[in-house]
């Protein structure tokens, strides 16, 4: 069953960032996270099923962010920023036929 994307539930502003290497004029290489997308999201906590199947271990914070289908390609190499908290993207699932994207994430320690 496809999940519906309701605009009223997209209450959280998130930014997707990608790790890039910047080279200065002098040739110095610097690795930084640069924003590639800023959008609204619905924030969900990890599901009961994940707790029961043992997929959640220890004190690691996990969450699911639902966003409308992005105009850029997002991968698990990217990360998500929500209110200053950084999240490593651990999984991506298409919602419907490119109606939205479910982003599973783990908080960066």
pLDDT tens column, 3-15: 566 777 899 999 9
Structural domains for the chain:
7-107 (2.40.10.270)
Count other C-beta atoms under 10 Å from residue 87's C-beta.
Answer: 21
- Going by pLDDT thresholds of 50, 70 and 90, the confidence category of residue 49 is low
Percentage, residues of the chain above pLDDT 70: 83
CA angle centred on 83, ends 94 and 20, rounded to 5°: 65
pTM of the predicted model as reported, rounded to 2 decimal places:
0.79
């Amino acid at each position: 069953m496809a999940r519906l994307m309701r605009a009223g539930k997209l209450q959280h502003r998130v930014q997707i960032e990608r790790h890039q290497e910047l080279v200065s004029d002098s040739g110095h290489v610097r690795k930084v996270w640069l924003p590639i997308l800023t959008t609204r999201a619905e924030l969900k906590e990890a599901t009961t099923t994940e707790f029961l199947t043992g997929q959640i271990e220890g004190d690691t914070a996990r969450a699911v962010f639902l966003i409308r289908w992005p105009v850029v390609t997002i991968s698990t190499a990217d990360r998500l920023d929500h209110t200053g908290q950084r999240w490593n993207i651990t999984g991506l699932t298409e919602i419907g036929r490119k109606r939205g994207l479910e982003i599973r994430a783990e908080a960066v320690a």
